[in-house]
Amino acid sequence: MSAIHTVLCIEDDRFIGEMYVRSLKKAGYDVDWVVDGNDGLIAARNKTYDAILLDVMLPERRGTEILEALRGSEDLIPKSRVIVLTNFEQDDESRTAMEQNADAYLIKAEITPKKLISVLQQLDGPAAATAEVKA
């Protein structure tokens, strides 16, 4: 897998989105940010991103629906890493289903910008194992 340079942030919380975008740009990433699920799905389908930061609770379309559309029966984004970010505690079955289609699953309350960048760097390695970055 190639190095991570471009990131799509699908996050409706303005404070969190601005913090992620500012931190990632400062770290040298090229970042696009959308605030609802429909725009996120369109952006992910229309441009190839190295990584997608995907919130679960979004207006218009939930992150679970976006993940299923992109990585479900037909993997539309085979070269993109997907990091699911949520504060919503999910039952084990829902979380397991999302983890199967994501490269990392993180709780937003536990993620600092520095830790997010660290996770992206872990996913950037050629031998990155998804189990290592699941939190």
The owner of tokens 């609802």 is 36
DSSP helix/strand/coil, 65: helix
Cα-based torsion angle of the residue sequence 128, 130, 73, 35 in order, rounded to the nearest 10 degrees = -100
Residues 8 and 51: beta-carbon distance below 8 Å: yes
Which pLDDT does position 31 carry in this prediction? 98
Q: What is the pLDDT of residues 86-132, one digit of tens each?
A: 886 666 656 676 778 899 988 888 889 999 999 999 998 654 444 34
Q: What local confidence, expressed as pLDDT, does residue 128 receive?
A: 44
Structure tokens, 96: 């397991």
Q: How confident is the model at residue 10 (pLDDT cuts 50, 70, 90)?
A: very high
Mean pLDDT of the chain: 86
Report yes or no on whether pTM surpasses 0.95: no
Tokens of 95: 């979380």
Question: Are 45 and 66 contacting, i.e. CB atoms less than 8 angstroms apart?
Answer: no
Q: Beta-strand (E) ranges in 29-128?
A: 30-34, 51-55, 81-86, 104-107
Is a pLDDT exceeding 70 seen at residue 134? no
Distance in angstroms (rounded) separating the CA atoms of residues 68 and 75: 9
Does the structure show a pLDDT above 50 at 69?
yes
Structure-block tokens of residue 109: 């309350």
Single-letter amino acid code for the residue at 66 = I
Domain range 6-133, CATH class: alpha beta
Tokens of 3: 């190095």
Burial 2-26, CB ≥16 within 10 A → b, else e: eebeebbbbbbbeebbebbbebbee
